[in-house]
Amino acid sequence: MRNLAAGRVFLIGLTLAAMAGAAAAATQAAPTHDPAKQATVVKILDNLGAYDLLVFGSKQGFQTDDGFKTLPAGDQTLLLSLMTEELGKRRQALLNDMASTDCDAFTTDQLKDLLAMSKIKYVHDLMMSKGDPSRPAPDPASMTASEKALYDRLDQATFAGDFLNNIGYNNAVDDLKAADQAAIDRYKAAKAAPGKAAS
């Protein structure tokens, strides 16, 4: 499990760093990517739970903020709910952001293998459990024989680890900041007019 394990550790580190606002993305012209490859990478990331890890990381970022900790429990729940809604509005944009790094670095055949691997429930559950330790540890015995054969083959493939190491979490920083700010603005509006629901 050498290459995939290394990729998972790097993946989670990038996730939490991005959520904490430690990563800064330089503003530059967006490069042109092969649309078919980008669409495949988006599917892979979605299957792996990359968006769900962003949501989890965003919640962790809010909950470790000193200002957030001073809010009443009800306000904390409201703000987290609004943040989740705002991220949901940007789900496709966030996946596209993350996919942009990996679009052109891999061959069509490699992406086909990665897409097949991303559909394995054990792999998805493994990614999620590494990001959220409160989840139960997935059981590799849940894989079918064909799934395990694919997993074992890609575990020895350098490109699989490279894919996980190069997920573009930093590219999503601007959309993440926009979601956070929109949630905060909605929260402030709700507090200013307590009789109205935040919208």
State how far the Cα of 160 lies from the Cα of 162, in Å rounded to an integer: 5
Q: pLDDT tens, 91-124?
A: 999 999 999 876 778 999 999 999 999 999 999 9
Residue 4 pLDDT > 50, yes or no?
no
Q: pLDDT tens, 155-190?
A: 899 999 888 878 888 889 999 999 999 999 999 999
pLDDT at 7: 42
Q: pLDDT tens, 50-66?
A: 999 888 988 888 888 89
